[in-house]
Structure 1
């Protein structure tokens, strides 16, 4: 018999830590579920969370830069939902989807298939790959395992990811115009050298003046992403800065609130207790500063307070969103109303982004016009000086 350390939550949302003996990790997880505990972490005693044999290791770099795209992850959950609905077992579903993929995702899914075939819960196996499957998705899957609705939860996660893809595409379209203006601003200084001295001179300028700053910016970006993923305090400070930045803060806060609302709706449908659903949204909303406000409301909800009133006291959501949430509580349709709240935040963020994109485009054109005007004035000033006799 092996000894396992566990971290879990009971039905009231209270965190429980302890140690138990079991023949395997799967048996330990099953014993905890039978006690009515929601397992957060489980590992062999004395082991620092090492991956199982054959598992793919993932570190801070994988968490900072996910190994698979959101669209591939959405497709995985959609395939899992379809296979489970057709009666395929969980382990066979993972094996079938893994065989259809390649590279990192294939190795991960085949490893998860082996572990689930030995009796390990799928959520526990996926939790070993936080750089591939976000903790929020793993927690929703775990809730589905507890409620016996894994198939429905897989479909919910697929829908949630699909909406996220649509949001990103719409934002990319809005940012296309400012991006083109920025490229034009970078290209305009090269025009004199390109026209007067040819392409070789322009390439030399790019190598001397453009490439070094670009490399420095890229290196700083990578270092910042790794730092924010590895140091939670730094991540929260960065998120707070984004919320307080004029213009950007309005967009960031609404996007994070939309994601939190959508996660809460999914957690409610998966059968999670309200306080656990709120903590899941707080941990995975994409902004640690907003997550802190949401998490601060969890103890009151565990004590039986209403969700809308508690979030109002925590200052986590705007008044209009809280009014919609209160209506959902009164009608018993919290998950449906949270979806409405998420769409409300998403539409507001889109509106703010449109305004910011237009403003950035106009500002870029003004800067370009000023630069061209300075060049023209400089040219004619020099030309006039050359015509003036000494």
Structure 2
């Protein structure tokens, strides 16, 4: 359908400019007058598109999803403006003007014109489903249908803020161990590439038979010096190959099975999955979405493929009249205690609140276990590094002690 640019006066007397799609100029004018009493001008917009190139919006925005923190801020701003009595289209224009992110600014600006022309917020934003999560769009749609759009944005703000904090906790907890490993690898490379070859030349000039440990260290150093490029290529090949296979349906399932079966880490991944399930279901049900639709949406947004399949299989049972708890029973990858907690929520008629509490419980439990794991990991890493350092030091000093004995 062609695009029409227009200029009109609103009920408050302010001039409004915009663009909308319609079958004809008359149809466009009719839709505009539904929102603005006085139509000043309208004309068909000529579309200019260079060959093999997307629209300006697509070029500037790209295909990357909007980050969780920015979604939380955006939902908070939407809730605040709508609670103040501002219209949705006006709120979107204002937030578009104020937002520093070029992608969000472009999306909100285009969506505001569609909403002003009569489109729903969910329909306007659904065109950018590669930028916004499915949970975001479906919750907004439910909020519009039930007339509780402000509350939907409130819930989404809490949902994304909670998700962001959980992610940041995990990143923060992993920073120190990764830093220690990185420093250790750099030091090891320098020692093996520079220090050991120099000492090997010195020992060769002195003559005599070197201890076995020293000979093994020098041989390892020579091996790395000779084959480092090949080893780097092999590692790169394995990395790329594992990523390509991991992105296939079967590869993703195999990867998730390994992650869920690992000692200590498997339980943490299971708890994070339970927290994501409970949190998403709580937000969707509180927004007024039916339980079978909420289950379907939750299955699509789950990070873990095995948990996603477990959730997807629940829909058939719910459509047959079974409760959520009955469908959860026997699911291999969900913690058994979650079923008991949800059972209480169903019996008391407070399933949304119970799911919210379940999400908090498992998120906190996963965070606690991560902290415990890191508390064990740090001294273990130090012991391993000390052993490596000890082997290198002993290998270097053994020839010196041998020479002193011979003297």
TM over 0.5: yes
Aligned residue number for residue 40 of structure 1: none
CA distance in 2, matches of 1:214, 1:178: 26
CA distance in 2, matches of 1:215, 1:126: 44
Describe the shift of the 1:277–1:220 C-alpha distance in structure 2 as closer, same or farther (beyond 3 A): same
Q: Spell out, residue by residue over 1:102-160, the C-alpha distance to the aligned partner (whole angstroms, 9 max, x if none).
A: 32222222122222222222222222223321112111111112212111111111111
Q: Spell out, residue by residue over 1:70-121, the C-alpha distance to the aligned partner (whole angstroms, 9 max, x if none).
A: 2112111111111111122222222211112232222222122222222222
CA distance in 2, matches of 1:370, 1:167: 35
- Report 1:127-206 matches (<5 A): 127-189=126-188, 192=191
Aligned residue number for residue 77 of structure 1: 75
Structure 1 alignment gaps of length 5 or more: 3-21, 28-51, 199-204
CA contact (8 A) 2:259 2:266 kept: yes
Aligned residue number for residue 281 of structure 1: 298
CA distance in 1, matches of 2:233, 2:77: 40
CA contact (8 A) 1:261 1:281 kept: no
CA distance in 2, matches of 1:58, 1:315: 44
Give the structure-2-normalised TM-score: 0.71
Aligned residue number for residue 38 of structure 2: none
- Report 1:1-390 matches (<5 A): 55-56=57-58, 62=63, 66-101=64-99, 102-189=101-188, 192=191, 213=232, 220=239, 224=243, 228=247, 231-315=248-332, 317-389=334-406
Aligned residue number for residue 37 of structure 1: none
Deviation at 1:362, TM superposition (A): 2.4
Describe the shift of the 1:94–1:226 C-alpha distance in structure 2 as closer, same or farther (beyond 3 A): farther
CA distance in 1, matches of 2:71, 2:104: 9
Taking only aligned residues, the RMSD between alpha carbons, in angstroms, comes to: 3.7
Q: Spell out, residue by residue over 1:320-344, the C-alpha distance to the aligned partner (whole angstroms, 9 max, x if none).
A: 2111111111111000000111112
Structure 2 alignment gaps of length 5 or more: 3-21, 29-53, 199-223
Q: Spell out, residue by residue over 1:234-281, the C-alpha distance to the aligned partner (whole angstroms, 9 max, x if none).
A: 444433332233332211121111011011111111001111112222
Number of positions where the alignment pairs a residue of Structure 1 with one of Structure 2: 332
Describe the shift of the 1:57–1:299 C-alpha distance in structure 2 as closer, same or farther (beyond 3 A): farther
Q: Which one has the largest radius of gyration?
A: 2
Deviation at 1:381, TM superposition (A): 0.8
